[in-house]
Structure 1
């Protein structure tokens, strides 16, 4: 399925929205940071927010769209361990929360493919 003409705008919006969510509710995201990472979870949460905002800006601009979309695809792969940790940590929560945490895992695949599709379309121009 080819990306729509507005696909890059939607991807940029998703990334910008995720950035805002990280800053607005850092505690939720702090708890997802794998313990193996050095430093404070809050530092990783804010670094992730900054990266998402930079990726959003890059995807929004035609000149940087291709490399930013490829970086977004890599970013979506890179945050998979946080989603795995969340699914593991939420294994004893209620059914709805447990299902939401587990559902995040396969959602990384379409996000990666979406970002890659935006990059390919930018390359074709």
Structure 2
């Protein structure tokens, strides 16, 4: 029997839909945080947006929740270096709120990964 849909899964799915929308509508927001070694940055940003949408939808459906949980945890781990780069890059600016926001985002990945793994484990 599949566990009922929890508030944390709904929230994680919502965050992924929001992030995916930005990836697909304004990919230039994410291109600067891509590691230099990655070619075709825009295409990778689009692909990650599509993956986020797939993960978000998969987390909401009982039949796909476990696979989507593993995929979501993997995606969060895969993009963590870009989030770290964004936080590091922003520290050079004079925008205090943006500095704080990008730094606060880093530890927020932990409960998101935990929620994804909880879904993966059923």
Q: With structure 1 as the length reference, what TM-score do the two structures score?
A: 0.84
Distance 1:8 1:96, change over 3 A: closer
User: Corresponding residue for 1:54?
Assistant: 54
After TM superposition, the structure 1 = structure 2 runs for residues 15-30 of structure 1, keeping only pairs within 5 Å, are 15-30=16-31
Partner Cα distance (1:90, 1:42) in 2: 21
User: Corresponding residue for 1:33?
Assistant: 34
Contact 1:7 1:118 survives alignment (8 Å) = no
Q: With structure 2 as the length reference, what TM-score do the two structures score?
A: 0.86
Partner Cα distance (1:118, 1:110) in 2: 12
Distance 1:36 1:103, change over 3 A: same
Please say if 1:106 is aligned against 2:69: no
State the Cα distance separating 1:60 from its structure 2 match. Answer: 1.7
Contact 1:29 1:45 survives alignment (8 Å) = yes
User: Corresponding residue for 2:10?
Assistant: 9
State the Cα distance separating 1:52 from its structure 2 match. Answer: 0.4
Partner Cα distance (1:8, 1:86) in 2: 26
Partner Cα distance (1:4, 1:62) in 2: 8
Count of residue pairs the alignment pairs up: 118
Partner Cα distance (1:66, 1:85) in 2: 30
